[in-house]
């Protein structure tokens, strides 16, 4: 609401006499888009260009002058040129002295150059005040007004006053400036728009790989085995039955993988007797992607829930149910209620529901706006205590579901276990080790190590 209204406002011509002239170097696409937007917001705009011949692409109300002339007209100069042409600015150093230069450039690859473009510009023109801004905004979005994702403009620079001037312009355009500190942050800001979910890459590939493996495993055991030995074509299992076997397995394994690195870390610290040595790299990276693993696990669990709830609507399930009822009716018999079965069925469903409920709670607290509103103690309580409780409930859910089949030889087609048995390995291992770790005789030294105590202070590096 707020955002959109601010955008609407910015489009209505405001009393332009209050705004100070802004100069834009470069008449490329982004320079023109920004100029358009600035004129709409009431800023007089002057373009600095090699050829001062007025191109009809440039906004009508803008002036086009030579670089030096244009620069003299404004206190803020937006450098809408590519980094490789920055050196042509060196001769203009005198004119640009004391001016605020806004570097809006982006690179094509992460860490393409040793220093950020903005720092490079600041080195070329040490007399100017360089501010990095606008690089996360897309020209297309700026022009079409659909700025949902890029309303935040990261701003950094060494001169506080210059930064303030740029942030005022950002606000006037209906965008939200975000001060990221000194020009040292420029590298990070320049890398930002080049990323495509960097933290999600490993968890995504891991879960896609595992899913593919389990899917094929299930196809072999459920469809091909049945086709060969029972000559029964159950290929339609691919649509729902097998996904609904793979999803819960993936959810449980990924949830356990969220807590496994914490277990490793505790063991390593106990073994080393200190917390002051870095973990191995793989563990560090694993710990940093736990949130993503957990969210993917939640996605699998949600799919499992919907796939399960939908089952009474499936033609196959209806047919199977009807067949059972009709055969009872034809045999003139009514089965009595099997109390053990009722207990197992109800408790496995209840465990699953409660586990999923806690899982969703964890998911909600990992929303940025929620996790910003809890303190460290509360976050740990939710993510650690409730998280382990969810893991316990989901593991119990799986065990109760398949418990009676462990000893049943018919569950081992081609001597291979069913996938829900495989899925229990990691969660059970995590829970057993965690159970050992909470014993006082193990927990106490661990707590002391985490508070900074060292077993062999002499031998630590």
Residues 153-172 that bind a copy of itself (CB under 8 A): 160, 164, 168, 171-172
* Other Cβ atoms closer than 10 A to 334: 7
At closest approach, how far in Å is the CB of 231 from a copy of itself?
13
**Can you read off the two tokens belonging to residue 213?**
């493996």
Whichever of 94 and 335 has its CB closer to a copy of itself, that residue is: 335
Residue 248 CB burial class (10 angstroms; 0-12, 13-18, ≥19): buried
Closest CA to 45 of 23, 25, 67: 23
Whichever of 90 and 322 has its CB closer to a copy of itself, that residue is: 322
Whichever of 205 and 276 has its CB closer to a copy of itself, that residue is: 276
Whichever of 68 and 208 has its CB closer to a copy of itself, that residue is: 208
Q: What 3 state SS string does 313-353 have?
A: HCHHHHHHHHHHHHHHHHCCCCCCCCHHHHHHHHHHHHHHH
CA–CA distance, 162 with 139 (Å, rounded to integer): 23
User: Which of the ranges 73-81, 187-195, 201-209, 419-427 carries the binding residues for a copy of itself, by CB under 8 A?
Assistant: 187-195
440-459 positions binding a copy of itself, by CB under 8 A? 450-452, 454, 457-458
User: Which of the ranges 81-89, 126-134, 369-377, 403-411 carries the binding residues for a copy of itself, by CB under 8 A?
Assistant: 369-377
Whichever of 76 and 92 has its CB closer to a copy of itself, that residue is: 76
Residue-by-residue DSSP string for 52-70: -S--TTS-TT-EEE-HHHH
311-350 positions binding a copy of itself, by CB under 8 A? 311-316, 318-319, 321-330, 332, 334-335, 337-339, 341-347, 349-350
Whichever of 91 and 127 has its CB closer to a copy of itself, that residue is: 127
CA–CA distance, 30 with 24 (Å, rounded to integer): 10
Closest CA to 33 of 68, 8, 62, 5: 62
Whichever of 71 and 129 has its CB closer to a copy of itself, that residue is: 129
Whichever of 380 and 444 has its CB closer to a copy of itself, that residue is: 380
Whichever of 89 and 305 has its CB closer to a copy of itself, that residue is: 305
Whichever of 94 and 461 has its CB closer to a copy of itself, that residue is: 461
| DSSP summary character for residue 48 | E
At closest approach, how far in Å is the CB of 148 from a copy of itself?
6
At closest approach, how far in Å is the CB of 386 from a copy of itself?
12
At closest approach, how far in Å is the CB of 77 from a copy of itself?
20
Q: What are the backbone angles phi and psi of residue 448, rounded to the nearest 5°?
A: -65, -40
CA dist 424 to 35, 239, 251, 305, 364, Å?
60, 24, 11, 19, 26
Q: Pairing between strand 129-132 and 152-157?
A: antiparallel
At closest approach, how far in Å is the CB of 405 from a copy of itself?
16
400-439 positions binding a copy of itself, by CB under 8 A? none
Whichever of 95 and 401 has its CB closer to a copy of itself, that residue is: 401
78 in helix, strand or coil?
strand
Query: Can residue 399 be called a binding residue for a copy of itself (CB under 8 A)?
Result: no
154 in helix, strand or coil?
strand
63-82 positions binding a copy of itself, by CB under 8 A? none
Query: Can residue 380 be called a binding residue for a copy of itself (CB under 8 A)?
Result: yes
Helices (H) and strands (E) in the chain, counts: 21, 8
Which H/E stretch holds residue 432? helix 425-437
User: Which of the ranges 65-73, 94-102, 236-244, 252-260 carries the binding residues for a copy of itself, by CB under 8 A?
Assistant: 236-244
Is residue 19 within 8 A of residue 42, CB to CB? The reply is: yes
262-291 positions binding a copy of itself, by CB under 8 A? 265, 275-276, 279, 284, 287-288, 290-291
Query: Can residue 99 be called a binding residue for a copy of itself (CB under 8 A)?
Result: no
15 in helix, strand or coil?
coil
User: Which of the ranges 124-132, 136-144, 205-213, 416-424 carries the binding residues for a copy of itself, by CB under 8 A?
Assistant: 136-144
How many residues line the site for a copy of itself (CB under 8 A)? 141
Query: Can residue 196 be called a binding residue for a copy of itself (CB under 8 A)?
Result: yes
Is residue 243 within 8 A of residue 303, CB to CB? The reply is: yes
Closest CA to 35 of 18, 43, 146: 43
At closest approach, how far in Å is the CB of 91 from a copy of itself?
27
Q: Pairing between strand 22-25 and 76-79?
A: parallel
9-38 positions binding a copy of itself, by CB under 8 A? 9, 14-15, 18, 28-29, 32
Query: Can residue 61 be called a binding residue for a copy of itself (CB under 8 A)?
Result: no
As a whole number of angstroms, the longest Cα–Cα distance in the chain is: 103
CA–CA distance, 46 with 72 (Å, rounded to integer): 10
């Amino acid at each position: 609401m707020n955002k959109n209204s601010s955008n609407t406002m910015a489009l209505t011509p405001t009393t332009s006499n209050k705004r100070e002239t802004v100069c834009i170097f470069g008449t490329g696409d982004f320079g023109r888009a920004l100029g358009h937007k600035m004129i709409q917001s009431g800023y007089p705009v002057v373009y600095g260009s090699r050829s001062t011949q007025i191109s009809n692409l440039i906004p009508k109300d803008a002036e086009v002058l030579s670089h030096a002339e244009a620069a003299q007209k404004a206190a803020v100069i937006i450098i809408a040129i590519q980094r490789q042409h920055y050196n042509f600015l060196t001769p203009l150093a005198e004119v640009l002295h004391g001016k605020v230069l806004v570097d809006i450039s982006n690179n094509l690859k992460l860490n393409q150059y040793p220093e950020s473009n903005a720092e490079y510009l600041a080195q070329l023109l040490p007399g100017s005040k360089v501010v990095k801004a606008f690089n996360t905004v897309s020209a297309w979005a700026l022009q079409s007004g659909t700025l949902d994702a890029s309303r935040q403009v990261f701003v950094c620079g060494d001169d506080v006053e210059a930064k303030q001037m740029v942030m005022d312009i950002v606000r006037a355009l209906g965008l939200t400036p975000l001060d990221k500190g000194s020009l040292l942050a420029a590298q990070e800001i320049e890398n930002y728009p080049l990323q495509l979910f960097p933290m999600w890459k490993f968890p995504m590939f891991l879960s896609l790989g595992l899913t593919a493996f389990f899917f094929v495993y299930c196809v072999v055991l459920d469809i091909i085995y049945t086709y060969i030995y029972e000559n029964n074509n159950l290929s339609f299992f691919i649509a729902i039955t097998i996904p609904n076997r793979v999803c819960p397995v993936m959810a449980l394994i990924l949830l356990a993988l969220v807590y496994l690195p914490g277990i490793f870390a505790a063991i390593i610290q106990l073994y080393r007797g200190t917390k002051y040595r870095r973990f191995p790299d793989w563990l560090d990276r694993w710990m940093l992607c736990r949130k993503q693993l957990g969210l993917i696990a939640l996605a699998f669990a949600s799919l499992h829930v919907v796939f399960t709830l939908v089952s009474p609507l499936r033609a196959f399930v209806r047919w199977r149910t009807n067949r059972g009822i009709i055969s009872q009716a034809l045999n003139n018999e009514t089965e009595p209620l099997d109390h053990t079965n009722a207990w197992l069925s109800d408790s496995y469903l209840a465990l699953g529901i409660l586990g999923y409920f806690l899982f969703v709670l964890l998911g909600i607290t990992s929303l940025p706006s929620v996790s910003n509103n809890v303190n460290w103690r509360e976050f740990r309580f939710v993510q650690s205590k409730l998280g382990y409780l969810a893991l316990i409930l989901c593991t119990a859910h799986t065990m109760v579901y398949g418990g009676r089949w462990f000893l049943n030889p018919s569950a081992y087609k081609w001597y291979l276990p069913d996938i829900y048995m495989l899925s229990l390995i990691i969660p059970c291992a995590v829970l057993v080790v965690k159970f050992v770790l909470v014993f006082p005789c193990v927990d106490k030294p661990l707590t002391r190590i985490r508070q900074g105590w060292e077993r062999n202070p002499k031998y630590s590096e």
